[in-house]
Amino acid sequence: MNDQKIFPFLSFTGNAEEALNFYVSVVPRAKITSLVRYEKGQPYGDEGKVLNGTLSLMGKQFMFMDMPSANPAPDFSWATSFFMHCQSEAEFDAVFSGLAKEGSVMMGPEAVMQFRKVAWVTDQFGVTWQLVWQ
């Protein structure tokens, strides 16, 4: 890992790997940097699911985990969101389109204050993103 001391940690109920792959497909330069699965007989997890995975998004590390089916993760809430400053309008449009597909657009895209485009979108996994392009 890098020098990052605080990591967003996202808990899923059986679809963490699907989410990891989704974000790699939607966010430019995103990549899975580690993936460890629960093995047979390990406590607290379902065999083959994600024990922990690390995703690099725009140079920041995000941790992912599948909670065991016997103790499912709570739903995500838009009270916590990820703010993403896009480098170009094309990047904004691509990320917005990917996150909004099968998700829910809460706002935008529209101009707000100094930003040319702003959007607030909850993706198909229930994770909320605030996208901006200046």
Distance separating alpha carbons of residues 128 and 32, to the nearest angstrom: 20
pLDDT tens track for 57-109: 999 999 999 999 889 999 999 999 999 999 999 999 999 999 999 999 999 99
- Non-local (6+) Cβ contacts of 39 within 8 A are 47
- Non-local (6+) Cβ contacts of 112 within 8 A are 118
Q: Are strands 9-12 and 60-66 parallel, antiparallel or unpaired?
A: parallel
Distance separating alpha carbons of residues 55 and 78, to the nearest angstrom: 21
Average pLDDT of the chain to the nearest whole number: 95
pTM of the model: 0.93
Average pLDDT on 10-23 reads 97
> What residues does 105 pair with on adjacent strands?
121
